[in-house]
Structure 1
Amino acid sequence: MGTDLRVLRQDDWDKWYDSLIRAFGGVPESSEERALWRERTEIDRSIGVWDGDACVGTAGAFAFRLTVPGGAAVPAAGVTMVSVAATHRRRGVLTSMMRRQLDDVRSWGEPLAVLTASEPAIYGRFGYGVGTHHTNVEVETTRVRLAVPPGTDDVRLRYVAPVDAIEACEAVYARKVAGRPGMLARVPGWERLWVLDPESERDGASPLQCVLAERDGEVVGYARFRVKPDWEISGPKGTVVVQDSESLDPAAHAAVWRFLFGIDLTSSLTARGRPLDEAWLHMVSDVRRCGLRVRDSLHVRLVDVGAALEARTYQAPVDVVFDVEDAFCPWNTGRWRLSGDPKGASCARTEDRADLALSVRELGAAYLGGVTLGALADAGRVRELRPGALAEASLAFASTVTPWLPHGF
């Protein structure tokens, strides 16, 4: 191709990042946001493809810890900042970066790679499966009421400047991480991303606002949001735009969302990237007026099948042999015996007869427990070779809490 793929150098970051921005439309970011992403970029885990002095391909990988069923925080490469210049499409640039990146992830000893896709059709051929989904909502708040649980009125809400509330919000978030598969343990520095508030990204809404929910002096929840004012002849019809929210218990959750539903001079609420099983969806008087829309979120790739399957627990006893196909990472191809239960698991290569046949993409989709092996079998993507093995494995892989990625990266 006449191109050079290499690990990113500090001095090349600006060209590398400019190439990424151009590939995503070319709209400049604020200086504060650009500086923060430069600080967050893990240079030695980032690669670029160069054609002479021009950067024509970018890819990075954050060192994350991802919650899996059972509560363990498993090392995972957070694949990010992937782009190919429009001048160099269909020349194998992306494939070469994915090849190098997965080889690197394996050498780092990280059993998982995860990403959010700008276009979900791209990454299946590299072994990624859609492992979590989220909900976007558009609620007619003037026509929907919440039936809140006991104790909601005991929660006090107060406004706090978003920057001043960072520590309190991060403490709430940190307490939630181990309880839900798909959540990421945040390392210092990431908290600043959630309070970036460039005017160019508000779309006519207010600066970012924050409320803390408190009980007996303890912060038990928060919401960060904007209000987009609007009026018609008959009166106000503003919109509450929710950025993010977490709560530690049902009453705090209800108090926060009741507040968001009832902000003066508004008639609607929008929120993006919420959990499929979020509690307030079961409190509403009319779910049809909540404009629910489900979309893919976290794409999961098992880089080391044995280590990944051992890292999580299983909600029911399971003893199955998988015949795994993995053309892109052939070290995973072959038969693996998984034995596990709610206390732990082991997974090792075996010569025993296979019970289920599938590709690593299906294992990635089912890994966090939100997509069942049974559903994948119905789609023709998992083959049952031993009667009963599918039901056994599908039950064992399921999660009692719906997996959810709370933010992109």
Structure 2
Amino acid sequence: MLRPAEWDQWYGSLELAFGGMPEPAEELALWRELTLFDRWLGTWDGDEVVGTTGAFDFRIAVPGGALVPAAGVTMVGVRPTHRRRGVLRSMMRRQLDDVRAWGEPLAALTASEPDIYGRFGYGPATHQVRAHIDTDRVRLSMPDGADGVRLRLSKPEEARDACEAVYARRVTARPAMLERRPGWEALPLLDAPSRRGDASPLQCVLAEADGRTVGYARYSVRPRPDDAPYGTVLLRDVEALTPAAYAALWRFLFDLDLTNEIVARNRPSDDPLWQLVDDVRRCRLASEDSLHLRLVEVGAALAARTYQAPVDVVFEVEDAFCPWNAGRWRLTGDTKGASCERTEDPADLALSVRELGSAYLGGVSLISLAGAGRVRELREGALHEASVAFGSPVAPWLPHGF
């Protein structure tokens, strides 16, 4: 457990593990404020910190709309002089034991190097899409009601509460979104001048209807060099409660003067924007992994979500790193709820806990994993049954890192 007096040294070791670039003071202050010292770990060699990790106490949306306790694993680093000595493994061992003791059935992280965490049972569960949109060539089709949405510029700090209220209503609508705990409302507003490069300070536009805020977008603008008349809109985030408000916000971003491009670094794979544009190829979409998920308690995790079709299947689960999960589990469930208990019945599907993590939020199909040889069907028809049930009508998406 980390002590407050050790935080500066601990964080300095983390910075060294990631190349040695110091973070802006504003960001350091926020991460210290958000640190849960009884959930933070350090590995020491004498008086030197050589390994770091922590775990936020999140609640994450799962299919069916429940918010499930999850350890948000973060700030994992090993000092370059101490790699390949088992430091990371020992920290992962202690941390997952702690997460189990805390009664949190899930652990989640974003991976700087995705190949590292599979051996600890984490599977890539969501994807994010990057877009570079040519707003000179791409046109939007607007839904009914968009012209009636009022747009208003506001200072980001002054609009914070209104934006957070919109975000809170969106969380349970999409798996993998995180409930914003106290203090986290400051994260989207971080705007250190040293991080901006040649872009403007953060800006905010609110969408209003019937006297209430129904959406927002936060962004900055980067002018082109050499006084060129076109610049780039750098989108931070955009959320809305209605299709009309969502489309109106995007039209605002498309129409900003002296710009001809929008760069959006993190959008859902099924973003409605792709249905509003007339030429998705000129949006230059690229996908990459985002949230990696681990089932810490298989039974509790599988029972915490609902399933979009009736399912009754026995899993043979392999989990060498957390052996309490290994063995057979019978999952029964539907759109109303589920149960998952130990069983001695014959297995229908065989897989590791990593595949369960990938499939858990509905963003990766069990059929796809089986096609890669990572899920084995032991009862004919079980793979299709389970794959359909595990799916989600809305793609899971992590709105921000941690």
Contact 1:137–1:291 under 8 Å retained in 2: yes
Match of 2:135 among 133, 141, 157: 141
String of CA shifts for 1:134-172, please: whole Å, max 9, x gaps: 100001111101011111001011110001010000000
Match of 1:262 among 244, 255, 264: 255
Q: Equivalent residue for 2:38?
A: 44
Contact 1:231–1:237 under 8 Å retained in 2: no
Q: What amino acid maps onto 2:87 in structure 1?
A: V
String of CA shifts for 1:318-369, please: whole Å, max 9, x gaps: 0000000000000000000000000000100000000000000000000000
Q: Equivalent residue for 2:9?
A: 15
Deviates more, 1:156-165 or 1:30-39: 30-39
2 CA distance for matches of 1:372 and 1:196?
36
Cα shift at 1:232: 6.1
Q: What amino acid maps onto 1:51 in structure 2?
A: D
Match of 2:377 among 343, 364, 384: 384
DSSP-derived class of the 1:295 partner: strand
Where do residues 345-384 of structure 1 align in structure 2 (5 Å cutoff)? 345-384=338-377
2 CA distance for matches of 1:121 and 1:317?
34
Cα shift at 1:231: 4.9
Q: Equivalent residue for 1:334?
A: 327
Kindly report the root-mean-square deviation, in angstroms, between the aligned alpha carbons of the 2 structures. 0.9
Where do residues 5-404 of structure 1 align in structure 2 (5 Å cutoff)? 7-231=1-225, 235-404=228-397
Contact 1:48–1:56 under 8 Å retained in 2: yes
1 CA distance for matches of 2:346 and 2:186?
51
Change (3 A) 1:9 1:152: same
Instruction: Return structure 1 stretches of 4+ with deviation > 2 angstroms.
Output: none
Q: What amino acid maps onto 1:111 in structure 2?
A: P
DSSP-derived class of the 2:5 partner: helix
TM-score (norm 1): 0.97
1 CA distance for matches of 2:306 and 2:4?
40
2 CA distance for matches of 1:29 and 1:132?
27
2 CA distance for matches of 1:166 and 1:25?
33
2 CA distance for matches of 1:267 and 1:118?
31
2 CA distance for matches of 1:147 and 1:14?
51
String of CA shifts for 1:253-285, please: whole Å, max 9, x gaps: 000011111100001110111111111111111
Change (3 A) 1:108 1:250: same
Cα shift at 1:176: 0.3
2 CA distance for matches of 1:358 and 1:222?
42
2 CA distance for matches of 1:103 and 1:281?
42
DSSP-derived class of the 1:145 partner: coil
Cα shift at 1:27: 1.7
DSSP-derived class of the 1:178 partner: helix
Cα shift at 1:30: 2.0
Q: Which runs of 5+ in 1 are unaligned?
A: 1-6
1 CA distance for matches of 2:19 and 2:134?
32
2 CA distance for matches of 1:192 and 1:300?
25
Q: What amino acid maps onto 1:70 in structure 2?
A: G
1 CA distance for matches of 2:344 and 2:167?
44
Q: Equivalent residue for 1:3?
A: none
Q: What amino acid maps onto 1:117 in structure 2?
A: A
1 CA distance for matches of 2:342 and 2:27?
46
Cα shift at 1:303: 0.2
Q: What amino acid maps onto 1:67 in structure 2?
A: A
Cα shift at 1:236: 1.2
Q: What amino acid maps onto 1:367 in structure 2?
A: Y
DSSP-derived class of the 1:82 partner: strand
DSSP-derived class of the 2:173 partner: coil
Q: What amino acid maps onto 1:16 in structure 2?
A: W
Change (3 A) 1:290 1:232: farther
DSSP-derived class of the 2:113 partner: coil
**Alignment length (residue pairs):** 402
Q: Which runs of 5+ in 2 are unaligned?
A: none
DSSP-derived class of the 1:182 partner: coil
Cα shift at 1:23: 1.3
